[in-house]
Structure 1
């Protein structure tokens, strides 16, 4: 006789996206809260998010991989200091199997919309099957957005003639592996992190004629990716504490880079170092095109490894063009100086769209997230995680959470830890929903914008700022240590709670318990430190005073806390 597995019970949790954030959140829900009523909607047919989608040649992490991984699942078997895309994707698939998450994931399921129902204290969801196009309804008491900030490729849509090009054209985040680059004329538009990783790889073939169109140069930082020896891997795996200590050392090292944003002296010295490095690495004919005219730190710092991006321009088949693009034609690109350059392939390395929310979400009174953003002059959230008017809705890497100097994965872990404290009473049935109030949200956003207003990030436009706005809506104004401190515990008075009578009672009793414990500790400490001959007299006086105290039935005393 066979028995069906018991269906998960209790409030339902829906996570949008099976990338590192979504998987990390699900793992934390299972391990820390014992919550198993979890559904992860993933539009693709596999887990991995960014590390599944970005498959361009040379794709790897900018941050050392022992820090660019979950703190709950350290891996002693990394091949080297920086993880490659295949290795990171394999790590996420291993996590999925290790924590039995595949049963919680619905693949090929695109999240369409969510609408809050106050009466039922849940979100009404619409999900689309990407294979058939059929939509279905679902619901969630708790909704987690884990789509990531780098999920939607951004194309230069304002560029005339974009759709007229008859050759192969694709975004670097959606790499077309069917294209054979041998003997082709290739245009790469953009010089961000992705371009700096794949340009050296595809141009190593001398038959490929590559031109990189650069609108503005970027500061580049030399960092060596070193392989780990078998001895190092053995130590990481078998010597207790070594891998954790190494990770913590990396955390401190990366967060110390925030000094570049706040110390004029450190920034000046580091700028001089970077200038020397960049001019030494690049050929003389492009020296006038590679040094930025903005201060170090106001845009993202690009990592340059070994004989990488700058050194690739020493190859006779690689050139840089900074004339600007007037339009895309049927068979090439027309520059703003009137030169027409023929191409067979155009690769858009133009980043991601970080301004808009990825899907429609409506909260209290039917207000959408986009309408809320517009009312605040740009993306706004409390601690980049919760939004006023959207109960039980939490976002990873929300507004003003990103940083340009350290690990975004640890940042997401800080957010997950914070959210779990808000989710726990709902999962336990002690409350129905939590929603951040408007006043603390505006106060927090004012603090963020005030700190950013006197920072380097105001000196130029970048993806850190909302397009067409002066509001800086992406970057966090401080080191990651500060964000960890702010998210270590919720300030409960900042939240509106529905159906939380049991939770409030539990909190009152916890406060009483702590107070009794503190008083007991003080009395015991006083007794332990008092001369022994004073103890009988002290107890005698205490007993006399106790007899004078009005007698109150014990039930009456606790009645006020019921």
Structure 2
């Protein structure tokens, strides 16, 4: 009855006018029963003093003088303009009102790892149709695993298309990011690469999107590396115009980079000594059978997915093959055993069924403990007569070469140190500068088990950490979704971060951070998962050794793709701790009880829209509600 009463009252107060008869339904709106236009309404009300001379409550003026409900301007800084920074920047630009976005990038252009690396054979080891923006894909890739330069071109083009070039400061290296509790802002110290000029940037929200693969790591413990008098370099710093024809080469490392380089250099070099601590598991492709192989697409292949309908079906099939294999993740299950047998068969065939080499290339740890590598031509290259595959730690570098684990010195002209990037003691999982939280405690310490207060790297949902207010990150501790791709993961994380920023804006929250209790509870899932999966059955950067000596997964999300989508789409706001602009009145953001549109011309019924299909995956519908402009319903 109350609803009927309110509706009737509002309806009765509308200024009605008669309209000529028409069949148009919209002309019926506002037609009343009585024409009151000829009545002197002021004379009527003057006859009733109790109606004419009202004393308004001072609260009416007080309430109506308050600002309207709405999201005010918020400053957000991202560190890094690679895949994660570009994806996050685009999504936040489209999903957050009144955002003042700045991206800080030390390189002179977009691309991140794809800008930094140009070694022979560099290419994506994820099917490229799943390594791009879901809402703005490129459909005419010429191969399933695209070359690095083509990937850099794609991400740079998308960044410019969404005007991120206007928001990005290239050649700016972050020295430190520190949270100021008094202002609830991040204070970011920046230095220009070109002239070393320093400046300070303040941000309401700071997001680390810089990734882990940016600082080359040279052989860290073996002596003598500096004494070698030949050519030596990390693949990220591949010398322009290098000619290996007729040279003896040492390639150290068989990670994702090393396995791509070997097939490229064996054709030129007179001899290659390939050093590796241990063998690596090699698959058909990164995600195993059912995903595209290392072939070029034909023109007919490319044309066959030009239509929206055909491309949708192609994408669904591709992601069914990439995802949907969560059970393979669990050590010792039937699915795990079947994939192990498949990988052994791949190795047996690709080493030419050579029993001695086959036993040498099969790792001594189960697959999953380190990254499964797609490596076209790598195992085949090991069978060549000009390649020696040398397992074990390098003992020493000399003036003319390398002493291997067998104690033999082998002379070489060139050393290629494909030895990866620093990924221990919190390095790699945090940027190459300190991120300092509320009490001087750094994120690098927090993500380093021996220094962490909890004795392990404690993430909240793979995108935040307690003690670091107004801070988020992508693609780091417990971020990576099993059988997903970095692009898909970042979109999920960026959409979640956008929701958190909108909440902070709307409710006048000065700072928000996950509680320690919620973080510990989330990490219980990681601890349980660590006991069940193959990641912890070997040594690699996928896992860590906690302060109490147990192995623990450091990279994995505790669930499948659909699991992550469901969890990250519905934030648990009760897990956060908040500081409001007025801690005594957290509902102060209600303001005047109105929004901007109530006092301005425009569409006052913006919330009534035509039915629209909304992509349920990550791009949820939301109400844009700026404090200084009209609201609107955003379907995508």
Q: TM-score range by the shorter chain?
A: 0.7 to 0.9
Larger deviation, residues 196-205 vs 13-22: 196-205
1:75-110 superposed Cα distances (whole Å, 9 cap, x missing partner) = 112112222101100001111221111111111100
2:189 match? 126
For the pair shown, the structure with the greater C-alpha radius of gyration is 2
**Does the C-alpha gap of structure 1 residues 289 and 416 become closer, same or farther in structure 2, counting only changes over 3 Å?**
same
Normalised TM-score (structure 1): 0.84
**Does the C-alpha gap of structure 1 residues 323 and 293 become closer, same or farther in structure 2, counting only changes over 3 Å?**
closer
2:59 match? none
**Does the C-alpha gap of structure 1 residues 154 and 244 become closer, same or farther in structure 2, counting only changes over 3 Å?**
farther
Contact 1:121 1:433 in 2 (8 A): yes
1:102-145 superposed Cα distances (whole Å, 9 cap, x missing partner) = 11111110011111112212111100111112211111111010
Larger deviation, residues 239-248 vs 51-60: 239-248
Alignment pair present for 1:253 and 2:321: yes
Contact 1:380 1:473 in 2 (8 A): no
Partner SS state of residue 86, structure 2: helix
**Alpha-carbon distance, 1:507 to partner:** 9.4
1:450-506 superposed Cα distances (whole Å, 9 cap, x missing partner) = 211232222111111237863332233332332222211211111112226697577
1:410 match? 488
Partner Cα distance (2:578, 2:570) in 1: 16
1:462 match? 540
1:257-311 superposed Cα distances (whole Å, 9 cap, x missing partner) = 3322226222222222221221221152522310112222222111132xx0011
2:282 match? 220
Larger deviation, residues 385-394 vs 54-63: 54-63
Partner Cα distance (2:495, 2:75) in 1: 18
1:361 to 403, 423, 435: 435
Write the mapping of 1:184-195 to structure 2, written as runs, cut at 5 A. Answer: 184-195=247-258
Partner Cα distance (2:575, 2:545) in 1: 31
1:288 match? 359
Partner Cα distance (1:182, 1:322) in 2: 25
Alignment pair present for 1:24 and 2:87: yes
Alignment pair present for 1:297 and 2:360: no
Partner SS state of residue 136, structure 1: strand
Partner SS state of residue 325, structure 1: coil
Larger deviation, residues 496-505 vs 398-407: 496-505
2:569 match? 488
For the aligned residue pairs, the C-alpha RMSD in angstroms reads 2.3
Instruction: Point out the structure with the larger helix share.
Output: 1
Partner Cα distance (1:323, 1:364) in 2: 44
**Does the C-alpha gap of structure 1 residues 345 and 505 become closer, same or farther in structure 2, counting only changes over 3 Å?**
same
**Alpha-carbon distance, 1:387 to partner:** 1.1
**Does the C-alpha gap of structure 1 residues 168 and 92 become closer, same or farther in structure 2, counting only changes over 3 Å?**
same
Partner SS state of residue 173, structure 2: strand
2:407 match? 338
What residue ranges of structure 2 are gaps of 5+ in the alignment? 1-71, 286-292, 594-636
Larger deviation, residues 118-127 vs 323-332: 323-332
1:552 match? none
2:126 to 63, 66, 83: 63
**Does the C-alpha gap of structure 1 residues 503 and 61 become closer, same or farther in structure 2, counting only changes over 3 Å?**
farther
Alignment pair present for 1:372 and 2:446: yes
Partner SS state of residue 198, structure 1: helix
Contact 2:121 2:261 in 1 (8 A): yes
Partner Cα distance (2:415, 2:482) in 1: 28
1:231 to 297, 300, 312: 300
Write the mapping of 1:403-442 to structure 2, written as runs, cut at 5 A. Answer: 405-428=483-506, 430-442=508-520
Alignment pair present for 1:319 and 2:388: yes
**Alpha-carbon distance, 1:50 to partner:** 1.1
**Alpha-carbon distance, 1:73 to partner:** 1.3
1:381 to 437, 447, 459: 459
**Alpha-carbon distance, 1:231 to partner:** 3.3
1:396 match? 474
Contact 2:482 2:559 in 1 (8 A): no
Contact 1:12 1:140 in 2 (8 A): yes
Normalised TM-score (structure 2): 0.74
What residue ranges of structure 1 are gaps of 5+ in the alignment? 1-8, 510-562
2:232 to 169, 173, 179: 169
**Alpha-carbon distance, 1:208 to partner:** 3.3
Write the mapping of 1:203-214 to structure 2, written as runs, cut at 5 A. Answer: 203-205=266-268, 207-214=269-276
Partner SS state of residue 552, structure 2: coil
Alignment pair present for 1:54 and 2:117: yes
Partner Cα distance (1:194, 1:428) in 2: 45
2:205 match? 142
Partner SS state of residue 338, structure 2: helix
Partner Cα distance (1:274, 1:116) in 2: 48
**Does the C-alpha gap of structure 1 residues 95 and 28 become closer, same or farther in structure 2, counting only changes over 3 Å?**
same
Contact 1:465 1:472 in 2 (8 A): yes
1:313-347 superposed Cα distances (whole Å, 9 cap, x missing partner) = 23222221115321111211012322100111111
Contact 1:38 1:104 in 2 (8 A): yes
**Does the C-alpha gap of structure 1 residues 249 and 422 become closer, same or farther in structure 2, counting only changes over 3 Å?**
same
2:173 to 97, 103, 110: 110
Contact 1:29 1:35 in 2 (8 A): no
Partner Cα distance (1:35, 1:208) in 2: 60
1:449 match? 527
Contact 2:235 2:416 in 1 (8 A): yes
Partner Cα distance (2:461, 2:169) in 1: 29
Alignment pair present for 1:471 and 2:546: no
2:16 match? none
